[in-house]
Amino acid sequence: MAVTRTFSIIKPDATRRNLTGGVTKMLEEAGLRVVASKRIHMSREQAEGFYAVHKERPFFNDLVEFMISGPVVVQVLEGEDAVKRNRDVMGATNPANADEGTIRKTYAESIEANSVHGSDSEENAATEIAFFFKPEEIVG
Ligand code: RTP
Ligand code: MG
């Protein structure tokens, strides 16, 4: 299996509860390596741009408000089949449906405040990584 990259966000509900380390530990234990990381407070424009694919969804405005409600940690993760590996350890969007041992089952508060984002395809991973990181900020 090829070593690939994916993009992750530790969301405001998790940074608020001081869970950056806890989430990162679960990512690392799942075989992912953090090759870039920064803590930022997203602007409204950044959040709207990042979630532009969800613009027509009923939850878009609430999602943007939530994502700018506090700091986030944006990360590039590297590992074998990184997109799927990350989605597997994240668990289902709604923590009520997430499997035991996943990040969302362990930490998420609700379907919205669900602690982590992870890219859903390699194509989207490349776009999302480029949205937040310059190539020289990623050290594999
Ligand atoms: P993500 O993009 O954050 O990794 O999560 P996902 O693929 O599992 O979920 P997606 O369908 O892409 O939705 C993006 C984020 O929007 C919030 N959401 N709220 N209130 C709702 O019904 C609802 N549905 C989704 C969540 O924060 C979700 O992660
Ligand atoms: Mg998604």
| Active-site residue identified among 50, 117, 118, 129 | 117
The minimum-distance atom of ligand 1 relative to the CA of 87 is 4
Q: Which tens digits make up the pLDDT trace of 10-21? A: 999 999 999 999
Tokens at 73, concatenated: 């940690």
Q: The complex's ipTM?
A: 0.93
Number of helices (H), then strands (E), in the chain: 7, 4
Cα separation, 75 vs 40, whole angstroms: 11
In whole angstroms, give the CA distance from residue 21 to residue 27: 10
Please check if 11 is assigned to a binding site: yes
Alpha helices in the chain (DSSP H): 12-16, 20-29, 44-50, 60-67, 82-90, 103-107, 122-132
Each residue of 109-138: pLDDT tens digit?
999 999 999 999 999 999 999 999 999 999
Structure confidence at residue 73 (pLDDT) = 99
Task: Give the span between the Cα atoms of 140 and 138, in whole angstroms.
Answer: 6
When pLDDT is averaged across residues 57-62 and rounded to a whole number, the result is 98
Active site includes 117? yes
Structural domain boundaries of the chain?
3-137
Diameter of the chain by CA atoms? 39
Q: What is the pLDDT of residue 23?
A: 99
Is the pTM higher than 0.90? Answer: yes
Q: Domain 3-137, what architecture?
A: 2-Layer Sandwich (3.30)
The residue whose CA has the least distance to atom 23 of ligand 1 is 112
pLDDT > 90? residue 22: yes
What is the 105 CA–ligand 2 centroid distance (Å)? 17
